[in-house]
Amino acid sequence: MPLIAQPLPLPGGALLARLHGINAEHGYLPEEALRGAADELQVPLSQVYSAASFYSAFSFEPRGRHTIHACQGTACYIRGGDKLLEKLEATLGVKAGETTADRLCTLETVYCVGSCSMAPVIRVDGDTYGRLKASHLPRILKKCRPIEEQEV
Amino acid sequence: MKVRTRSDLEMLRSEGLSTLYPSRPRISVGMATCGLATGAADVYDTLRDEADARGLDITLVVTGCIGYCQQEPLVDISLPGHGRVLYARVTPDLARVLIAALAAGELPAEGALAVIPEEETSEVSETSEVLPGIPLLNELPFYAHQHKIVLRNSGLIDPTRIEEYIARDGYQALARALLDLTLQEVIDEVLHSGLRGRGGAGFPTGRKWQICYDAPGQPKYVICNGDEGDPGAYMDRTVLESDPYNVIEGLTIAGYAIGAREGYIYVRDEYPLAVERVTQAVARAGELGLLGEDILGSGFDFGVTIVRGAGAFVCGEETALISSIEGGLGEPRPRPPFPATSGLWGQPTVINNVKTLATVPVIIGRGADWYASIGAEGNAGTVVFSLVGKVANTGLVEVPLGLTLHDMIESIGGGGLGGRAVKAVQTGGPSGGCLPARLFDLPISYETLTEAGSIMGSGGMVVMDEDTCMVDVARYFLAFTMAESCGKCTPCREGTRYMHETLTRIVEGEGTPEDLELLEEVAEWVKAASLCGLGQTAPNPVLSTLRYFRDEYEAHVTEKRCPAGVCRALIRFTIQPDVCTGCGLCLRECPAGAISGEKKEPYVIDQELCTHCRICYDVCPVGAIEIVR
């Protein structure tokens, strides 16, 4: 028996593109924005939420102003990327996945940013820093201090 | 302007040639992600400012990756009438020296790594005399065994300028396919070339296209899989960043061959620059009519949509990727049916890796026989690897299939980092295995690597030395696959968790000899019973390390000893008082505050506070820190 009404399929990649858009605008996925996306794309809210929670690029919590990704890809790992992460956790006082109390920095791990020949690397707000040692971190983290302090 | 005919392409080619080989100096700065990570942007700015200040008339361009990542930032300078030289590890200071020399009409020797032979102008013999003592690029051990097909333009052209791609014979293959060949003839050409899927599984590309072409149903789709998730691998990122039109041309030819009008390029979220370059390239190809309706007046319509992934490794699996494009979860489904008969929205779909598609234009342009003559029996052509880890020369290399692992690691890679002995190489990422140095005489092919317990994979090659603990490496990969398992099927979801727990116990010194047998048994089950490639291959790192490095496992479970000195619970750090100079560096860097002492006096480590993180060992300038195993 033919269906009376069948939803039109979404254009390919449309839901992911919308989630990326919301994430770029707010830095995370606020509930109202997800409801708006479901209405506009005419898909169930449950589908929007299931996709949003499946992918690690999205967060339901507000994030810090800066995001630090400590790469834990294979090359970084065997060249000390785990030590850099430990140093970052000690310096920022948060564990991976957490945001500092002043909402300045979110520390994340990532499995490979594809800069393996520069291992170990970290990425700060999308900029990649390679061939790192723990002693290089303070200089890189300077850009993650409040703007007032940077000017001092 | 719209490109309608071959002569329109010729016009763009001459424009491209004029910037690729200008009458003034051309300076190209490698600004793919690797270059940028080591300061290429500062070098670029300095070159521009210095040239401006001196009123020097140059063509300054951004290029992609030339492969020798170890030597980044790389700057390639061609001075008309003099030749072309590649400069390595360029700093802003060296950039100033380079501009000063160019202003004097010279190519300086300082910082010169190699002379690049100009194939177009056949100046090979002359250019080698430009800088006496500086070798030709293909004389460097790093490049000696390489044969660049996929990477033929990477690092040489400005990836944002389609004219330069066309100047390097770009879009000739598409013109040939659309104007001179039938759909079946294109498929036959790819089939006869012997090209196999470079995503890692090695399925014959032409056969996949044929199945899709023969499958009933319209519309059909083609997808470029750029969801390169293997940690330790960055071949696809480099190709997308350095030569995006090559991939788009390959995808367009694939679309034509199977009768599709729509294509998708799915790019990993962690590759923002690749997304940017491909987006820009698709837009530009559309402006010129090389995408869109009635391409080259052939009546063939084709459009491309770019989908940015969102951080899920499993989406590299083809059925999961398709589901992700459709707006569902990136979860795999059982095959068959394979996507070639039932893919995107249930329609026949060809899904190929970035490097596979980047090879297609060369095959159509130069012919199947030419391609088939490269490589080894049943393993035609070249393969791109990212050679990384504990190896002297890291970088992106493209070699004919059949080259031995020894040539790859010892000749191209220059052996172990810091002259240390190489213990193993890991290929195929979390789906692959670790092969010991005694097997390095093996030729690289899909079959030999699989027989040895690893896989070809998409091209990650991570070198490991005596300071790498193979049990810890297996645990590392299982932590990865456990986290990335989508959870749909039980063998993968629970099996990876169990293997990870057991390996964690072993590295913490709490494993037993029985654990090794159970680990092996569970690994075999997960391999046999999982739904998709992720679970079916997840045990490979465990099985291959158990096979080749069982002694290391046994040392962990029986002697509670980590021979490589890596596993924290089994080692301890001490400072040798007679070597320590009391410089205080370790005290400053210790994240646990476990080191104490007075300047100029030997320092000591408080064993209660020490977390065995090894940072002091790595920073100590005099090697005073000892690992007690």
Does B1 reside within a domain?
no
Looking at residue B182, what is its pLDDT?
98
Residue identified by tokens 């010279």 is B106
Which of B465, B486, B521 is the C-terminal boundary of a domain? Answer: B465
CA distances from B39 to A77, B30, B36 (A): 22, 10, 5
Q: Is residue B197 part of a domain?
A: yes
- Give yes or no: residues B499 and B458 share one domain: no
pTM summary value: 0.93
Whether A140 and A83 map to the same domain: the answer is yes
Q: CATH no. for residue B587?
A: 3.30.70.20
- Cα-Cα-Cα-Cα torsion B212, B215, B218, B221, nearest 10 degrees, comes to -20
A70 within some domain: yes
Residue B464, chain A, CB below 8 Å: the answer is: yes
Does residue B211 sit in the same domain as residue B328? yes
Whether A60 maps to a domain, the answer reads no
Q: Do A82 and A140 have their domain in common?
A: yes
Q: Is residue A2 part of a domain?
A: no
Specify whether A92 is located in the same domain as A26. Answer: no
**Structural domain containing residue A111:** 66-151
- CB-closest option in B72, B344, B484 to A12: B344
Residue in B177, B175, B179 with CA at minimum distance from that of residue B190: B177
On whether both B475 and B460 belong to a single domain, the answer is: no
User: Residue B573: what pLDDT?
Assistant: 96
Q: Give per-residue pLDDT as tens, A34-87.
A: 999 999 999 999 999 999 999 999 999 999 999 999 999 999 998 999 989 999
Q: Choose, out of B270, B347, B585, the residue to mutate when testing the contact with A (most A CBs < 10 Å).
A: B270
The tokens for B264 are 């998708």
User: Are the C-beta atoms of residues B566 and B468 closer than 8 Å to each other?
Assistant: yes
Alpha helices in B413-549 (DSSP H): 446-451, 470-484, 490-507, 513-529, 533-537, 540-548
Q: Mutating which of B615, B616, B617 best tests the A interface, going by the most A Cβ atoms within 10 A?
A: B615
Among A30, A54, A78, the domain boundary falls at A54
Q: Is the pLDDT of residue A4 over 90?
A: no
- For residue B188 the two structure tokens come to 């036959």
- Has residue B162 been placed in a domain? no
Residues B322, B180, single domain; the answer is yes
Q: A55 and B396 in contact by Cβ < 8 A?
A: no
Nearest-angstrom CA–CA distance, B376 and B155: 27
Do A48 and A106 share a domain, yes or no? no
Q: Which tokens go with B437?
A: 């140095």
What lies within 8 Å, CB to CB, of B453 at 6+ separation is B433, B435, B540, B543, B544, B547, B548
Average pLDDT of the residues in B258-267: 98
Q: Do A73 and A147 belong to one domain?
A: yes
Residues B525 and B606 in one domain: no
CA A126 to chain centre: 10
Residues B481-498 as b/e (b if ≥16 CB within 10 A, e otherwise) read: bbebbbebbebbbebbeb
Q: What are the backbone dihedrals phi and psi of residue B501, each rounded to the nearest 5 degrees, phi first?
A: -60, -45
pLDDT over 60 at A119, yes or no: yes
Q: Is residue B92 part of a domain?
A: yes
Query: Is the same domain home to B390 and B500?
Result: no
What's the mean pLDDT in B368-372? 97
Domain of residue B341, CATH code: 3.40.50.11540
Together in a domain, B319 and B412: no
Q: How confident is the model at residue B28 (pLDDT cuts 50, 70, 90)?
A: very high
Residue B604 sits at the chain A interface (C-beta within 8 Å): no
Query: Model confidence over B406-431: pLDDT tens digits?
Result: 999 999 999 999 999 999 999 999 99
Q: Is residue A72 part of a domain?
A: yes
- Residue B311 sits at the chain A interface (C-beta within 8 Å): yes
Q: Which residues of A touch B480 (CB under 8 A)?
A: 111
Q: Are residues A86 and A27 in the same domain?
A: no
A129 and A72 together in one domain: yes
A22 touching chain B per CB within 8 A:
no
The answer to whether B330 contacts chain A (CB < 8 Å) is yes
Looking at residue A151, its pLDDT comes to: 46
Tell me the shortest Cα–Cα distance from A94 to chain B, in angstroms: 13
Mean predicted confidence (pLDDT) in B517-541: 96
- Return the amino acid letter for B188: D
What average pLDDT score do residues A116-133 get?
91
- As given in the structure block, the two tokens for residue A84 are 């850099």
| Within a domain: B327 | yes
Shared domain for A45 and A73, answered yes or no, is: no
Q: How confident is the model at residue A145 (pLDDT cuts 50, 70, 90)?
A: confident
Residue whose token pair is 């300028």: B161
**Whether A44 contacts chain B with CB within 8 A:** no
Same domain for B492 and B409: no
Inspect the interface and report whether the beta carbons of B36 and A80 lie closer than 8 Å.
no
Q: Report how many domains make up chain A.
A: 2
Burial degree of B378 (CB within 10 A; 0-12, 13-18, 19+): middle
Is B143 part of a structural domain of the chain?
no
Q: Please name which of B445, B468, B480, B476 lies closest in space to residue B549, comparing C-alpha atoms.
A: B468
Residue A7 in this model has a pLDDT that exceeds 90 = no
Domain assignment present for residue A8? The answer is no
Cis peptide before A120 (omega within 30 of 0): yes
Whole-number CA gyration radius for chain B: 26
CA max distance for chain B: 82
The one-letter code for the residue type at B175 is A
The range of the structural domain enclosing residue B210 comes to 170-370
User: Mean pLDDT, to the nearest integer, of B154-165?
Assistant: 96
**Residue B442: partners with Cβ closer than 8 Å, 6 or more residues away:** B404, B405, B435, B448, B449, B452
Q: What DSSP state is assigned to residue B314?
A: G
Residue B549 confidence (pLDDT) above 50: yes
Instruction: Please check whether residues B119 and B248 belong to one and the same domain.
Output: no
Do A37 and A79 fall into the same domain?
no
Position B334 in a domain? yes
Mean pLDDT of chain B: 94
Show the tokens assigned to A57.
Answer: 């690029």
Q: CATH no. for residue A85? A: 3.40.30.10
Q: Which amino acid is at A28?
A: Y
Segment A23-29 mean pLDDT? 93
**Is residue B427 included in any domain, yes or no?**
yes
- Residue numbers in B near A119 (CB within 8 A): 388-389, 394
Residues A70 and A22 in one domain: no
Structure tokens at B80: 């008309």
What pLDDT is stored for residue B124 in this prediction? Answer: 43
How many CB atoms are located within 10 Å of the residue B576 CB? 13
- Cβ(B569)–Cβ(B628) below 8 Å: no
Residue A78 has its nearest CB partner, among B305, B329, B464, at B464
How far is the alpha carbon of A48 from chain B, nearest alpha carbon, in Å?
9
* Sign of torsion over alpha carbons B28, B151, B305, B14: positive
User: Which amino acid belongs to residue A30?
Assistant: P
Whether A4 maps to a domain, the answer reads: no
Among B512, B529, B557, give the residue marking a domain's end.
Answer: B557
Q: What is the CATH number of the domain that holds B547?
A: 1.20.1440.230
Whether residue A113 sits in one domain with residue A93 = yes
Q: How crowded is the C-beta side of B302, counted as CA atoms within 13 Å?
A: 32
Closest chain A residue to the Cα of B477, Cα to Cα: A74
Chain A residues in contact with B270 (beta carbon < 8 A):
110, 112-114
pLDDT at B363: 98
Residues in chain A: 152
Q: Which of A5, A30, A54 is the last residue of a domain?
A: A54
Q: Could you tell me if B212 and B358 lie in one domain?
A: yes
Q: Are residues B247 and B181 in the same domain?
A: yes
Instruction: Kindly report the CATH number assigned to the domain that includes residue B93.
Output: 3.40.30.10
pLDDT given for residue A99 in this prediction: 94
Of B260 and B230, more confident: B260
Q: Which residues of A touch B70 (CB under 8 A)?
A: 117
User: Residue with structure tokens 């800069």?
Assistant: A115
- Residue A25 in any domain: the answer is yes
Residues A84 and A121 in one domain: yes
Torsions phi, psi for B528 (to 5 deg):
-80, -30
What integer is the mean pLDDT of B71-86? 92
Which ipTM value was assigned to this complex? 0.90
Residue range B446-451: mean pLDDT, rounded: 95
The 3-state DSSP class for residue B411 equals helix
Top residue of A18, A34, A69, A116 to mutate, by most chain B CBs within 10 Å, is A116
pLDDT at B123: 43
- Domain-terminating residue out of B500, B533, B557: B557
Two tokens, residue B27:
């300076």
Q: What is the pLDDT of residues B429-442, one digit of tens each?
A: 999 999 999 999 99
Q: How high is the pLDDT of residue B129? A: 67
| For A54, nearest residue in chain B (alpha carbons) | B329
Cβ separation of B305 and A13 shorter than 8 Å?
A: yes
Give me the pLDDT at residue A9, please: 76
- Total structural domains in chain B? 5
Residue A89, min C-alpha distance to chain B (Å): 9
Q: Is residue A141 part of a domain?
A: yes
Predicted pLDDT at A126: 87
Residue B80 shares a structural domain with residue B200: no
